[in-house]
Amino acid sequence: MSYQFRWDKSWGSRVMIILILAVWIGSTGIYAQDGEGEYRLNQEFLKNFGQDWIGVVSSPLDWDSRSLWNLAAVLGGGALLYTVDGDIHGWFQENQTPFSEEASGLVSHLGHGIFLGGVITSLYAGGEIFHSTSLRKTALLSLEGWLTSGVLVLGIKFIIGRARPYTGKQSTTFHPFSLGSSFHSFPSGHSSSAFAVASVVAEQTEEWELDLMVYSLAGLVALSRIHDEKHWASDVFVGSALGYFVGKKICDLRQNSERNSLHLSFSFIRDRTSFTLSLRF
């Protein structure tokens, strides 16, 4: 079996988008809190990733009233959209233009794993080059959010088995436990991935302009999936919400872990050596 990678102008423009996004994110107000670890792609990251994964999956056991209200809002919004999925799909198809087709095709790739992986890799590389803990942290937490939301989405897709719009089947058609991609409509993986990374980036910056940009791009990714007949409106709504809350949860878990961590430091002043041990909780 052979695989041929074909480079064309569209690939060139997508690489440019990756670089522009990475430079924009890296040059804005991403910050690091005092006492953070180094945040490198090593054994410690894998350990933290495993802990965060368990924390995300088990988080429903610790939900408070606010979390339950958020769940109710997502389920209620998804149920409402479910009743009009066919109408929304029809409106998008009737109002397509050559410009919308070209723009949607480009925007949709921003939620693809290759491109999100490119942005994350660029941020991490920037952190190594410029010795920036902030960039490395943003990159690794984005990676956690992307992978965690992706695994959850794949599991739900397999269990639900909803038909995609392009199959020509009704929005109420389901084939649970199907291995075929044409029955993996709910929820939207592109939307989930885009919002997972966007929410992490937004959590790591105090610049509202960057928050607006990353969430706007994630929203455009979600809309493109409806436009391109890959998903129903309720698919992208629930997928977007899932990615958003996964990214936020991972950031909260890391913040709590850093707050409760043990820090050891030495300082040398001429002939005197001082030793400091601190516990944050």
HSE on the CB side for 259, CA within 13 Å? 7
User: What is the distance between the alpha carbons of residues 106 and 213, in angstroms, rounded to a whole number?
Assistant: 16
Given a cut of 60, whether residue 275 has pLDDT beyond it is no
Task: Please give the average per-residue pLDDT across 81-98, as a whole number.
Answer: 96
- pLDDT for 19: 54
Q: How far is CA 72 from CA 32, 80, 156, 160, 254, in A?
A: 34, 12, 18, 19, 26
- pLDDT for 278: 44
Give pLDDT tens digits for 169-203: 999 999 999 999 999 999 999 999 999 999 999 99
**279: amino acid identity, one letter:** L
Given a cut of 80, whether residue 73 has pLDDT beyond it is yes
Q: Could you give the maximum distance between any two Cα atoms of the chain, in Å? A: 79
Work out the pLDDT band at 272, boundaries 50, 70, 90. Answer: low
Give pLDDT tens digits for 1-27: 433 434 344 555 555 555 555 555 655
Task: Please give the average per-residue pLDDT across 67-85, as a whole number.
Answer: 96
- pLDDT for 131: 87
User: What is the distance between the alpha carbons of residues 237 and 192, in angstroms, rounded to a whole number?
Assistant: 9
Q: Which of 23-32, 38-47, 125-134, 148-157 has the highest mean pLDDT?
A: 148-157
Report, at the CATH architecture level, how domain 40-279 is classified. Up-down Bundle (1.20)
Q: Which of 103-112, 147-156, 246-255 has the lowest mean pLDDT?
A: 103-112
- pLDDT for 281: 44
- pLDDT for 280: 45
Burial profile 254-281: b = 16 or more Cβ within 10 angstroms, e = fewer: beeebeeeeeeeeeeeeeeeeeeeeeee
Q: How big is the chain, counted in residues?
A: 281
- Categorise residue 131: left if φ over 0, alpha if ψ from -120 to 50, beta otherwise: left
User: What is the distance between the alpha carbons of residues 50 and 53, in angstroms, rounded to a whole number?
Assistant: 5
- pLDDT for 13: 53
- pLDDT for 237: 98
* Residue 172 DSSP label: T
Task: Please give the average per-residue pLDDT across 149-155, as a whole number.
Answer: 97
Given a cut of 60, whether residue 213 has pLDDT beyond it is yes
**Rounded to an integer, what is the distance from CA 265 to the centroid of its chain?**
35
Domain ranges of the chain: 40-279
User: What is the distance between the alpha carbons of residues 14 and 17, in angstroms, rounded to a whole number?
Assistant: 5
Task: Please give the average per-residue pLDDT across 46-63, as a whole number.
Answer: 94
Q: State the chain's mean pLDDT as an integer.
A: 85
Percent of the chain with pLDDT over 90: 64
Q: How far is CA 96 from CA 66, 69, 186, in A?
A: 39, 36, 23
Task: Please give the average per-residue pLDDT across 33-44, as a whole number.
Answer: 74
Choose between 191 and 272: higher pLDDT.
191
The per-residue DSSP string of 58-106 comes to HGGGG--HHHHHHHHHHHHHHHHHHHTHHHHHHHHHHT--HHHHHHHHH
Q: How far is CA 228 from CA 87, 95, 147, 223, 243, in A?
A: 15, 12, 24, 9, 20
Helix-, strand-, coil-residue percentages of the chain, each rounded to 5: 70, 5, 25
Task: Please give the average per-residue pLDDT across 193-215, as a whole number.
Answer: 92
Question: Please, which residues have CB within 8 angstroms of residue 46's CB and are 6 or more apart in sequence?
Answer: none
- pLDDT for 255: 87
- pLDDT for 7: 39
58 exposed, middle or buried (CB, 10 Å; 0-12, 13-18, 19+)?
exposed
Q: Which of 101-115, 156-170, 181-195, 252-266 has the lowest mean pLDDT?
A: 252-266
